[in-house]
Structure 1
Amino acid sequence: MLTKDTKIGFIGTGVMGKSMVLNLLSAGYPVAVYTRTKEKAQSLLEQGAAWKDSVAQLAAESEVIISIVGYPQDVEQVYFGENGIIENANTGTYIIDMTTSKPSLAKEIYNKAAEKGIHALDAPISGGDIGARNGTLAIMVGGDQVAFDTVYPIFEAMGSNIVLQGEAGAGQHTKLSNQIAIATNMIGVCEAIVYAKKAKLDPVRVLDTITTGAAGSFSLSKLGPRMIEGDLAPGFYVKHFIKDMKIALESAEEMGLSTPGLALSLQLYEELAEKGEEDSGTQALIKLFDSSI
């Protein structure tokens, strides 16, 4: 049974990870962090987080290990090999990858961890920088019920909609479903705002109305205002959304599923990235539709 004295190791302190660590610290958990660039974790160290010099050290000294890194290859580097989590974590450790990654990779981590008596969960998230800051993330989990129940209080420090979706890999499949839904929605949000402007309406007033109706969505209510203001700061990077869409498209093709909306959104976001916006927030898509921004 885990307690508030449970030692948590956290790998990855980007836009989302930093706020997640702060929420874990606020909940009273001792948290150690590791990231490739120590300077990026400095503000967390000032808030009480401990620093570990390597993935191996963090893994050996933690009872629960959480990772949220960039790409599937980063996940592989963190979890596998002689310096990785699985090789260095103790029997009985809980490892939770919250990166959006491949379902097949989540299953591989689960199987290799099980061979060492380590409990693995895949638990990608949704809610952006706002959800991470407020501790209201949606957390989509794949793995065993007992492991899920054990670490549930830790999830509660970071999210408010926490659901075990099924066996290993199910969390990743759920997140990919989430990204597919967002992909075409973002196109619609951009087109709606541009349409309102062309019709000589106040787009802010329009959003105040349509966000409460059938068109309502997180993208419309949270990212729509940022689009209107020209605020392109990343709550979620364009480059990471492209990565997610590519994984989703690959997974859909493996299942024989056609996703034309997803393919169109990926095409538009790749065009956006080519224009130098890969480190902008996903709301920067509006720039392809509105030259005034």
Structure 2
Amino acid sequence: MLDIQVNFAAGSRYDPPNRSGLAAMTAHLLSTGTRAAKGCLGLTEAQIEDRLAEIGSVIADTVDGDSVALRLRTLSAASKRDAALAVFASILQCPALPEKKLVREKQRVITALNVSENQPQAQAEKAFKAAVFGAHPYGASPDPKSIAALTQADLMSFYQAHYTAQHAVLSIVGDCDRPQAERIAEQLMRALPERAPGAALPPVAPLSGSSEIKLLHSASQAHILIGAPAIARGDPDYFPAFIPAAQPGSFQISLQTRQDQASEALRVVFMGCRWII
């Protein structure tokens, strides 16, 4: 087996104003079609899926606030590996980002967001992010309006700006030696867009004081989130209990309890926090 992961500094913190969801949409649409070009296969979404199924390979993506991770898992036999790498390289270097697929995905995401508006946990998480991070990019959440506004040009511009070798970290684990790994790196990185690094991420402002936000909901359970900006990933005091991010991520306590027990649950949590401090 061979596992390959490429991370780009292309997470949701780079979403422009009124375009929340752009980073995630771009990542998800990379594998829905590619353009025929030097070193790239021109493939439809169905052809990509068929080729991967034939050789037993999987391509997946993950998006967080700071980065996008694109992963390939394939058999290491030369014929299987090379076929999978040809598809993966085409997705990385020559995405078509088809308009038809964008329309489909926008509708899917908007439907999911509309459903989440009635879910107490989703409402609590959105309010929590906004309260902890304010106007900082970490505090933004996609909504139906921002998703509906996305265009193919937005996606291609975002790809060109952020899916670059300067923004990439490549990890290769599995059945290959160093010369093979170097050839794989060259194949995947050589035709990525060239763009200078973008503007630095603004600092996360510390909270000026405590606040309490109550959202009314008919659910039988109360969903409670407590937290604040914590420390950045590179902080010398960082340890794995916190959520790592390029800027201070959030320290968060989350719980659910019956509506009539919410006050008592909060009292117990605050007692525990005072004991830890």
Pick the TM interval, shorter chain: under 0.3
**Structure 2 length as normaliser, TM-score?**
0.27
TM-score scaled by length of structure 1: 0.26
Larger radius of gyration: 2
Structure with a larger share of its residues in helix: 1
For CA contacts below 8 A with separation 6 or more, give which structure has more relative contact order: 2
